[in-house]
Structure 1
């Protein structure tokens, strides 16, 4: 009798173990699992997410990036001239800060345009261009300098350069703020509208600083 009960108990335990194994196998065969049994996002869902991110922009966002890149590039060229032409330490410091702020923004906007499949516009007066290149390609944009303006700045030095640089950069900044305001009002892409807000705030503060350096209130 005792042997019979022992055999019966062992058979029951074996049956339980088999059932548990089958249940675990079924759970491991989840439709969202990969070949190793780990759950993850399917290629289709990842692709859909990427497409949604890429599509979350409008024509204004593209126009903002394509316009602000050459606008920033000209500001950087003007700022670089200050290194060996300006006489004021304050002007040199301001120019250095402009470079530090705007160069990364150019890289960021270029990345947006590439991800959207759009052309990355550049200024003919960018840092890589040779002397004498056309500075007027984008002179119709707010605050952009033309060939004559840039030629005068390149020839100036000392106190004359300081005054000319500050006067021109104030107008340049006003143009950037105008472009940024349009983006804030009409843009759809979150990072672009956020950048435009930062541009407006930072450059408005720099305009105040430059007016003080010019002796204006």
Structure 2
């Protein structure tokens, strides 16, 4: 049966035409979902040339790192008492949710596994700035001004960890889009740390 299939002229022609069509699409399409102002992050037609292990590590680790920040931001949306904290939490979630999707798309296009959603940093605490399950539980059991203070302090630590990871990607990565996103993360979260520190200084002590 296998010999019959490969001796069928019409099927052979379809395979050739299909291959040419896929090649043309790969050349013409610019992966519109991968924006950030940089070239696309490698496609299935050029997997080895466009990225390296550092890019894969960056995307694989930044996804659960961002997921935890989003979880913390959602907690602040329900529990924080300071309007400025709620506003910043909303901004953090709005920025990092799309970045999670972008990072996931890159891993898929590179043929690498996408991390499943994690809650509380289980088995991920070796990453810079990642909260433990106990820390996340403590935050969830806190309210009032104490919650605001704890949330800010934890988010500063979390952001500093993300900046460390972003700097590593900029120094060691190969994919232009991944490096550009790392630079964006460093810039955005450095600015947010300054805002968090200002907010922390305004909170009552104790």
TM-score interval, smaller chain: 0.7 to 0.9
The alpha carbon displacement at 1:137 in A equals: 1.4
Q: Secondary structure at the match of 1:169?
A: helix
Match 1:96 to one of 84, 90, 95: 90
Contact 1:54–1:115 (Cα < 8 Å) also in 2 = no
Contact 1:114–1:120 (Cα < 8 Å) also in 2 = yes
Over 3 Å counting, the alpha-carbon distance change for 1:199 and 1:44 in structure 2 is closer
In structure 1, distance between residues paired with 2:182 and 2:98? 14
Over 3 Å counting, the alpha-carbon distance change for 1:148 and 1:106 in structure 2 is same
CA RMSD in angstroms comes to 2.0
Matched, 1:181 2:175: no
Structure 2, unaligned runs of 5 or more: 1-18, 28-42
TM (norm. structure 1) is 0.73
Match 1:108 to one of 97, 102, 106: 102
The alpha carbon displacement at 1:108 in A equals: 0.5
In structure 1, distance between residues paired with 2:150 and 2:123? 22
Structure 1, unaligned runs of 5 or more: 1-40, 126-133
Contact 2:47–2:110 (Cα < 8 Å) also in 1 = no
- Name the structure, 1 or 2, with higher relative contact order (CA <8 Å, separation 6+): 2
Contact 1:71–1:123 (Cα < 8 Å) also in 2 = no
In structure 1, distance between residues paired with 2:25 and 2:197? 50
Which residue is equivalent to 1:162?
Answer: 148
Contact 1:143–1:175 (Cα < 8 Å) also in 2 = yes
Over 3 Å counting, the alpha-carbon distance change for 1:42 and 1:144 in structure 2 is same
In structure 2, distance between residues paired with 1:115 and 1:54? 11
TM (norm. structure 2) is 0.76
